[in-house]
């Protein structure tokens, strides 16, 4: 499983629109659902910094994510442009591949 963590600093007053766009039924998820290798997105708000949000995007593999970007570049840029005014900044915090067959230690 390939995991990507994004951090967003949302402009005051834009929180509801941001949550709709980046949430489980938002435009980003709708775009990602075009690809059968997309596994889901979680949207989390930072409890200590209420204008900061994180998305956790899950893909079958890094190659699957890269292939999705290559095949959907224009649509990706359109969605990105549609919502760029909602945030002061966004950054890709990390990406990593995790072994989805291994259970955590007990």
Does residue 70 have a pLDDT over 90? yes
Q: What is the mean pLDDT of residues 6-20?
A: 98
What is the rounded (10 degree) CA torsion for 51, 54, 55, 58? Answer: -170
Q: Answer yes or no: is pLDDT of 103 > 70.
A: no
Give the predicted TM-score (pTM) of the model.
0.89
Element (H, E) at 16: helix 15-22
Pairing assessment for the beta strands 38-45 and 87-97 based on DSSP bridges? unpaired
- The residues, ordered by sequence, that sit 6+ positions from 6 with a Cβ below 8 Å of its Cβ are 54, 55, 57, 90, 91, 92, 93
Q: Quick one: tokens of 91? A: 């950054």
The model's pLDDT over 53-64, given as tens digits with 9 standing for 90+, comes to 999 999 999 999
pLDDT band of 43, cuts 50, 70, 90: very high
């Amino acid at each position: 499983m390939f995991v990507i963590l994004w951090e967003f600093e949302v402009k005051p007053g834009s929180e509801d629109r941001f949550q709709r766009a980046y949430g489980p039924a938002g435009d980003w998820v709708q775009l990602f659902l075009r690809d059968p290798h997309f596994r889901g997105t979680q949207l989390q708000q930072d409890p200590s910094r209420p204008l900061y949000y994180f998305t956790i995007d899950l893909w079958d593999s890094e190659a699957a994510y890269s292939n999705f970007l290559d095949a959907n570049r224009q649509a990706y840029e359109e969605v990105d442009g549609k919502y760029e005014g909602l945030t002061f900044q966004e950054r890709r915090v990390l990406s990593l591949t995790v072994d989805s067959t291994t259970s955590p230690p007990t």
